[in-house]
Amino acid sequence: MEKSGRIMEVFLITGTSRGIGKALAIRALEKGAKVYGYSRNCTIEHSNYTHTSVDFSDLKQVEKIDFPDGVFTSVILINNAGSLGEMKHVGKLTENGVVSTYHINTIAPILLSNKFVAKYRNVQAKRIVLNISSGAAIHLSDGWSIYSSTKAALDTFTRVAQLEQELDNTGIRFLSVHPGIIETKMQEEIRKNQQEDFSNVEYFRELKSTGQLKTPEHIAKLLLDIVEGNYEPEDVVFSLRNHPQY
């Protein structure tokens, strides 16, 4: 367990090897924060960055994660790691694919959120859990039965967790964000699908060809605006598209 005697902002971010997670980590580091990253691979080198290698499909590895002690002005958990999983119609899914996607997208964030509240509930600092969800939780499409349901479950968990923090007077805030359509590895995977597995694939290919995808760096900036209190979401579960700078 790492200890820190310094007063500082601390970010605990999953999925920091690429995409939104990496962009969030880099932006937080640029602002002088201490960042703890959790992902399979380490792709960030910085004196204020501490990496833990984790495969979020393996819950035994998730259970071993130990969040840092210290004196913080704020400690922010961002559950960003996610998997698209198998984009296939029901009847073509595999058991391993279903279980792995639920582990990564739903169960791991819940376990980490539980660790966070247990460890920091009495800490005198700003404490936020920001879950990176998806509009797929409410905008349904064929081929997304698993991905959509994992994100819908995460949204519901976030709502209940926030209600519990209010009842328990912990001062911890829970949020779940639908960040929009972003140029990430996940989008590349979506565009590779066949029409028979995902009938909306041409729509996503068109978004790419017409330059309508947001960059991870832009999304990271807006998400940190929320964490820093510069933008107030309309609800516990919210769409980033409503941010005036989206």
d(CA 162, CA 57): 25
Dihedral sign from CA coordinates of 107, 188, 38, 55: positive
The residues that are catalytic are 147
∠ CA 14-238-56, nearest 5°, is 20
Residue 209: what residue type? S
Contacts of 8 (CB under 8 A, 6+ apart): 32, 33, 34, 70, 72, 73
- Name the DSSP class of 182: B
Q: Answer yes or no: are the C-beta atoms of 53 and 42 closer than 8 Å.
A: yes
Give the H or E element holding residue 108. Answer: helix 108-120
d(CA 163, CA 211): 39
